Homo-oligomer: A and B are copies of this chain.
Amino acid sequence: MISVADARAALLDLVAPLTVETVPLAEAAGRVLAEPVSARRDQPPFAASAMDGYAVNADEVERHAMFKVIGEAAAGHGFQGRVGAGQAVRIFTGAPVPEGASFVVIQEDVDRKGDLITITDAPGDNANIRDRGRDFRAGQTIDAPRLLRPADIALLAAMNIAEVPVRRRPVVALMSTGDELVMPGEIPGPDQIIVSNTFGLKAMFEEHGAHVRVLPIARDTEASLQTAFGLAREADLIVTIGGASVGDHDLVAGVAESLGFERAFYKVAMRPGKPLMAGRFGEGSMVGLPGNPVSAMVCGRVFVVSMIEAMLGLPTKTKPLAQAPLAAPLPANGPRQHYMRAIWRGADVQAFDSQDSSLLSVLAQAEALIVRPPNDPAREAGSLVEYLPL
């Protein structure tokens, strides 16, 4: 048996960052920036007023000082002249501060009569001016790789970057296998069940940036598997579900090998989980997940999501997991790393009593997976444990 970390490393060896494509800014959220991009201008591009008020020379600012208003500067329409001694320009938030002015007296501190203003309150030390380039300078970069979030998108816009170089989304082909499976909406025979992994994994992988193609269910015949694999051409990653163990009815590996799959098995010291099948397949790669619903979802989260992130060019170095106190004690763990379905009790995390890997109803309630290392001793309530959020 190999550790989860070693299995993950072996799977990551199968994939590499994909090519770069350019998308419009409005479609860049949730994508991964592939190359550093540089601001095309300073922000603000000029000294800008931070308030509505009057622009004057800072040296003249004091209580009871009077100024003649000689013009107006609005956002988008600066004042073209120069502010001289005893002069003021009416100014609005975001407007360029005119030449000669170095202070904006806020309108609440001013009494205006016709073209004359008088400062009525001590204006304090804040000039209410945002210096040119205070937010960023032309040429300042956003480093790659970076998963682009809403605030990044706003920043890219302000930098005047209308098109963004991002990694192509990995195409993941999902194939559930087994004579016992029918699609949702169909009427199952007496010995059949509804395929669930395909739909759960599709949602999970798409949430992490993949483009998922759902293949037809492959039956337990070579012909059916060949048909399904034939539809998976051009996928960056083929994920099969079920049929990957060494049981008599598990044909998947054999058929895949006849089509060029270079099979490796990894017996991973984890629960839930089973031997993982993995290898290169043509230009892409393939992973065989266990058919057990909870095992498939947990292995999808622990292994396949990491492969998707690697194809997106995101760092693959394992980050330390978050920690939380246990709401209830746990018995000692066995020799396999255990991903326990758990929920929050306030800021504490509590494992469900039933950790049976067939229970989708428990997985759907789970908010986190408590990650217990092999041979972790029994834990008291309040003891800190690591978890993966769900």
List residues of A (312-356) whose CB comes within 8 Å of B's CBs: 322-323, 347, 356
Selected contact of A199 from candidates B25, B184, B196, CB within 8 Å: B25
Flag if A75 contacts B180 (CB, 8 Å).
yes
Residue numbers in B under 8 Å from A191 (CB-CB): 46, 75-78, 95-96
Flag if A151 contacts B201 (CB, 8 Å).
no
Flag if A151 contacts B360 (CB, 8 Å).
yes
Q: How far is the CB of A222 from chain B (nearest CB, A)?
A: 16
Residue numbers in B under 8 Å from A263 (CB-CB): none
Chain A residues with a Cβ closer than 8 Å to the other chain, count: 91
Q: Complex Cα distance A93/B249, Å?
A: 10
- The closest CB in chain B to the CB of A191 belongs to B78
A63 on interface, CB distance cutoff 8 Å:
no
Residue numbers in B under 8 Å from A158 (CB-CB): 193-194, 196, 293, 360
Q: Complex Cα distance A77/B162, Å?
A: 57
A181 on interface, CB distance cutoff 8 Å:
yes
Flag if B245 contacts A94 (CB, 8 Å).
no
A9 on interface, CB distance cutoff 8 Å:
no
Q: How far is the CB of A157 from chain B (nearest CB, A)?
A: 4
A366 on interface, CB distance cutoff 8 Å:
yes
- The closest CB in chain B to the CB of A358 belongs to B130
Main secondary structure, interface of A, reads loop
Interface string of A111-142 (1 = CB under 8 A from B): 00000000000000000001000111000101
Q: How far is the CB of A162 from chain B (nearest CB, A)?
A: 3
A81 on interface, CB distance cutoff 8 Å:
no
Q: Complex Cα distance A94/B358, Å?
A: 10
A178 on interface, CB distance cutoff 8 Å:
yes
A363 on interface, CB distance cutoff 8 Å:
yes
Flag if B155 contacts A364 (CB, 8 Å).
yes
A283 on interface, CB distance cutoff 8 Å:
no
List residues of A (124-182) whose CB comes within 8 Å of B's CBs: 130, 134-136, 140, 142, 148-163, 178-181
Determine which residue in A50, A140, A358 has the highest number of CB atoms from chain B within 10 A of its CB, and name it: A358
- A interface residues (Cβ-Cβ under 8 A, vs B): 25-26, 29-30, 41, 43-46, 50, 52, 74-78, 92-96, 130, 134-136, 140, 142, 148-163, 178-181, 183-185, 188-204, 206-207, 214, 220, 245, 247-249, 291-293, 297, 322-323, 347, 356, 358-361, 363-364, 366, 390
